[in-house]
Amino acid sequence: MSTFAFGALSAPSEAVPDTPRFRQLKPAAETTASATKVGKYVTVVAGLVPAEVLAAHAAIVGVAVTVDKKATPPVTTLDKPALQFAFWGLIVVCVLLYVAGKYTAKQVTDGKAKAVKWTLGDVVRAAIGPIAFVAWTMIQKDTAFDAVAPAASEGLRNSIAIVVAVGLAATAAAIGYKTPETPKEPSPQDPPTS
């Protein structure tokens, strides 16, 4: 997620007065009682999802979910095939974004470019984005997850997403403390290693 978007998501909304004129400015995560309870977890998982994936999801939901506000109560219609494709496709995109970043990073040893080496840590890092995306879609309303698991209750969705959010945050923090070692180029003062 971009720093700008994360800052906007994590900004306190108490600064916006609770009047009819300003109510529309409050974040969507705070508009219902149940959403308020999970709002911080939404922020945690959103911070682990690539910004490109969140933006693509927002664009797809914008065209694949319609709300008939003239009906009482308002009726939400989902384009299930489009949302199902978006859900699975964006999971793949999360992985591909990590792989692309890994392969474009220069790994130089002894002045020569070396093949990219994968470690168990890289596999875990590659999995964080997709898992966070699934948790994020579970904890929100009107997302691609609705087309994949329409029968899942709000309680079940939130319970799973919150447990996953806690686990992901701990995993990301642990991995963040142990970054992959980059080989050091020898300096002219280093003794030969033969």
Q: 82: domain range? A: 3-177
Asked if the structure places residue 187 within a domain, the reply is no
Asked if the structure places residue 189 within a domain, the reply is no
R_g (Cα) of the chain, nearest Å: 21
pLDDT of residue 106: 66
Asked if the structure places residue 80 within a domain, the reply is yes
Half-sphere exposure at residue 110, Cβ-oriented, CA atoms within 13 angstroms: 6
User: Where on the phi/psi map is residue 110: left (φ > 0), alpha (ψ -120 to 50), or beta?
Assistant: left
Asked if the structure places residue 75 within a domain, the reply is yes
pLDDT of residue 127: 92
Query: Whole-angstrom distance between the N-terminal and C-terminal Cα of the chain?
Result: 45
Asked if the structure places residue 194 within a domain, the reply is no
| Total domain count, the chain | 1
pLDDT of residue 67: 86
Asked if the structure places residue 115 within a domain, the reply is yes
Q: Tell me which of 58 and 179 has the higher pLDDT.
A: 58
Asked if the structure places residue 182 within a domain, the reply is no
Asked if the structure places residue 193 within a domain, the reply is no
Q: Residue 94 in contact with residue 130, Cβ under 8 Å?
A: yes
Whether this prediction's pTM lies above 0.85 is answered by no
Mean pLDDT, the chain, rounded, equals: 76
189/154 Cα distance (integer angstroms): 63
| Model confidence pLDDT, tens digit, residues 108-151 | 666 676 767 778 888 888 899 999 999 999 998 889 999 999 99
Q: Tell me which of 108 and 11 has the higher pLDDT.
A: 108
Residue 95's identity, in one-letter code, is V
pLDDT of residue 179: 52
| Model confidence pLDDT, tens digit, residues 167-178 | 998 888 888 766
